[in-house]
Structure 1
Amino acid sequence: MTENIDSNAVHEATAAALGFYFQSQFALLTLISQTNSEAAVAVERLDDVELKVDGQSLLYQLKHSIQSNPPAVTLASVAFWKTIKVWIDALPLVSLPDTTFHLVSVGKVPADSPLAALCNLTSDRNALLLAMEEEAERVATQRANAEKAGTKLPHAARASGCDAFLKLAPSVRLSLMRRVIIQQRSVTIGQIPDELAKWLHLIPRHLRQQAAERLLQWWDQQVVFGLCDRRQRVIQRSEMEQQISSIIADLEEGALVAEFASFTHPENYEPDGMLTRQIELVHGKPSDIAKAIRAQWRAKEQRSSWINSNPKMRSTIAGYDSLLTERWFDRHSQMVEDCADLEPAQVEAKGLELLRWSHELAPNQVEPIAHGWSAHYYVQGTYQVLAIDLHVGWHADYLKLLKD
């Protein structure tokens, strides 16, 4: 258990992280369900998720929950009034006749709630409007009375939404609410991969789950790149279709995919201490250690991903480890002979050359793990994995020096 961290704070941070991750995955699920190839989505622009299709804008406010019994959506819900405030703020930026507003909730709407009218876009909204006006005015009145009495103002979380709603002209209130729909009992983040797999009709059934996971990995990277301004925020359906085609081709060919080429290790990642001890024996520089840690993390994650997707990859990985070890042994044994009459500093320099060979030359000089594989990080990082287990080393006498 983590010490000195409030458990409620950890829970809230987890929920927030999953909430954002849910936005990304829900955007993909929304886009793949469209039939128009011109459809496009954006995350965290006008709303949590924004879908453009057939000249229409669909704005989605997502209310995810990790609770086993998620809260219902009612007229007193903070989530509902916060959503209303977000949409009112967005009104100057959209064409109301061409926009629909979707509140997507894992929780349900009680059958007797006035909000039940929002579960069907064609339902009459007049009774709902009256109920919303009464609730907003009740909140405003209670806050005004508390202010006069000098007591704490109630309904702080809902106040801005209620106030913004009351400031709208009655005709705008009706126009807005006619464009609102609630999608209740939404899928949760844990269910999205299975739901996504159902849309991959062109892929054999037994490969759909693997393809869905591959598609999600690509998608999450595109969303992050968009948020970092490394690509346009809007992702076109045609881009997704092209990626699906690429995944299908890879699966048909049995090709291995470099899933971690664009990722780096978390800031708090701490590799096994043996990695740095091996490099310190040959007086490696900080840059040598940094490259080794990055490559080792990528290779470790890649090996794990391959095995999880296909347990038969264990034998392929083990065979390739043996090949890398053999290539290393040919160089290391020759280096040991050359170091027989050298001074300690010269021996260390020879070892540093061998380490840098594993970084710079080995990826091109050792045959790849599979046909078409070209990502250098796997060879670089696997050598570090092997070094941690003392199957390879950089110093001529690494086994003797590290025998403890």
Structure 2
Amino acid sequence: MSQHSADASLLGYYFQGMYALVKLLDANDYDRISIETFDDVYLDGDVKTLYQLKHSLNSGGNLNEKNDGLWKTIRIWAKMVEKEEVDEATFFIFVTPLLIDENCSLTELSKNDSNRSRVVDDLLMEAKRVAGKRKIAKSKQEALPYKTRWPGCEAYLSLCPEQRVDLVNKITIHPNNFNIKDIHNEVTLKIKNTVPLGIRPKLVERLIEWWDRRVVLGLLNEASRDISKHELIQYIVTLVNELSEENLTDDYGDRNEEADILGELGGNMEAQIDLVNGGKSRKKRAAVARWQARNQRERWLDDDLINGIELKKLDKRLINVWDDYFQTMKYDLEDEDENVLAENGRSLLDWSHRKAFQEVIPVREGWRQPYLVQGSYQQLAEDLVVGWHPEFDEILKKNSSNQEGEK
């Protein structure tokens, strides 16, 4: 497979998920949608709709009865009709960036309440033509033509006349369809009447990111493959609330599995945990929280949802609350041995992760995710602004001086 065809396939798979988002935004309240189940996209509700998608960044050319992509799709749908796997409430949608040839009977499949008898006959004529050409080639012991088109033609020919009529009556063609480049605009159009203009661009961006992850989780069977309209609307409502002036978005709360743990370790943050014999589990949770908090803070700043002054005020509050615990601990343990110092330092470290977020005034009134406080404390520990061991400052600065001297 060439690099070009590989890229096209990847874009095609990605388009399936994004197309499903657009369709679900248009769907009824109790509908559900899935990707790569009964078809490329399957919308399940009072009406069951199977979408077969043909994606392309190049919309040149026209669609007619000789289109290989159409026949590949007919093969799939004809088998379902032949095996009686569909009922009266099931419909097939062929989605393509191509325009339909105006002289072609397929134009009837893009209309409502059209006469489709000509389509049934024209498809049958093309299927018989392909079968005849292959028969002639076989008799001459030549290479058989129409390898891509033939399986669809064969499936269509295997249907009885009534089944062919039933199949064609279930098909609708959506020509001149949008492609992956247009997804942002398509989603924006679908939510423009329900989402305030000021937050619309940021909401659409986050909605697409969330949907992309949600589809992947479904494909990995880590979540239901079916995504309900209720789940989608619920997330949009959450985003509207988070993007209001009184609140902030939570972009990293459910992305802890993506954290680059090794990339977070190796500096003062890890050294501070080692000083109190914190072990691997405390290092891992510290690395994850720091990754989440740093990325979240940067995302807010990039999107102008918060300013640097607010974050500096939060850090100041973190330092003040920590300092109250730290100075008291340091005074009480002045004459204790190293084991006692490390044990109490671990307790302070655990406090920063388990309880501090409940004691520190949040960055915004509506913000309640623990990882911002947890991870910000770890960043402050990396910068040696806070620490856990009563003598962290002296020990780490001494180690730093010794390393500089060795150089």
CA distance in 1, matches of 2:261, 2:10: 19
Structure 2 residues not aligned, in runs of 5+ = none
Q: TM-score, normalised by structure 2?
A: 0.77
Aligned AA (2:21): L
Contact (CA 8 Å) 2:32, 2:226: kept in 1 or not?
yes
Aligned to 2:19: 26
Q: Secondary structure at the match of 2:176?
A: coil
- For structure 1, the 5+ residue unaligned runs are 1-5
Is 2:108–2:114's contact at 8 Å kept on the other side of the alignment? yes
Q: Indicate which of 69, 73, 98 corresponds to 1:83.
A: 73
Structure 2 matches for 1:57-68, cutoff 5 A? 57-65=48-56, 67=57
1:339-363 CA-to-partner distances (Å, cap 9, x unmatched) read 7766666655554444333222222
Following the alignment from structure 1 to structure 2, what is the Cα–Cα distance between the partners of residues 149 and 33?
A: 54
Equivalent position amino acid for 1:165 in 2: Y
Question: How many Å separate the matches in 1 of 2:385 and 2:263?
Answer: 17
Counterpart AA for 1:8: Q
2:264 to 269, 272, 278: 272
Q: Once the 2 structures are TM-superposed, how far is the Cα of residue 125 of structure 1 from its aligned partner? A: 3.9
Corresponding residue to 1:196 among 183, 187, 190: 187
Whole-Å separation in 2 of the counterparts to 1:112 and 1:120: 15
Task: Give, in angstroms, the shift of residue 154 of structure 1.
Answer: 5.6
The residue number in structure 2 matching 1:363 is 357
Q: Does 1:321 align with 2:315?
A: yes
How far residue 118 of structure 1 moved from its aligned partner, in angstroms, is: 3.3
In the alignment, structure 1 residue 8 sits paired with structure 2 residue 3 = yes
AA in 1 matched with 2:169: R
Cα distance in 1 for residues equivalent to 2:348 and 2:131 = 74
Match runs of 1:134-213 below 5 Å:
134-137=125-128, 139-140=130-131, 155-200=146-191, 201-213=193-205
8 Å contact from structure 2 (residues 259, 288) kept in 1: no
Q: Distance in 2 between matches of 1:140 and 1:267?
A: 56
Q: Shift in Å at residue 402 of structure 1?
A: 4.7
Give the distance between the partners of 1:322 and 1:175, measured in 2 at CA: 71
Q: How does 1:193-342 map to 2 (within 5 A)?
A: 193-200=184-191, 201-217=193-209, 219-220=211-212, 223-224=215-216, 226-227=218-219, 233-252=225-244, 254-266=246-258, 270-273=262-265, 274=267, 275-332=269-326
Matched residue type, 1:262: D
1:45 aligns with 2:40: no
Aligned to 1:3: none
The residue aligned with 1:56 is: 47
Structure 1 CA distance, aligned partners of 2:300 and 2:243? 13
Q: Distance in 2 between matches of 1:295 and 1:107?
A: 48
Q: Which amino acid aligns with 1:90?
A: M
Contact 2:301 2:307 in 1 (8 A): yes
Please tell me whether Structure 1 or Structure 2 has the larger radius of gyration of its CA atoms. Answer: 2
Task: Report % sequence identity.
Answer: 32
- C-alpha contact (below 8 Å) 2:259/2:292 kept by paired residues: no
CA distance in 2, matches of 1:269, 1:73: 51
Give the C-alpha shift of residue 391 in structure 1.
4.5
Q: Name the counterpart of 2:396.
A: 398
Shift of 1:225: 5.4
Residues in 2 aligned to 1:21 and 1:222: alpha-carbon distance in whole angstroms? 13
1:350-389 alignment, distance < 5 Å: 350-389=344-383
**CA RMSD, Structure 1 to Structure 2 (Å):** 3.9
AA in 2 matched with 1:61: Q
Instruction: Tell me the number of residue pairs that the alignment of Structure 1 and Structure 2 aligns.
Output: 393
Q: Secondary structure at the match of 2:184?
A: helix
1:205 CA displacement: 1.5
Residues 49 and 59 of structure 1 are in contact (CA less than 8 Å); yes or no, is this contact kept in structure 2?
yes
Give the CA deviation at 1:270.
4.6
CA deviations on 1:85-112 (whole Å, 9 max, x unpaired) are: 33234333221x3222112224444545
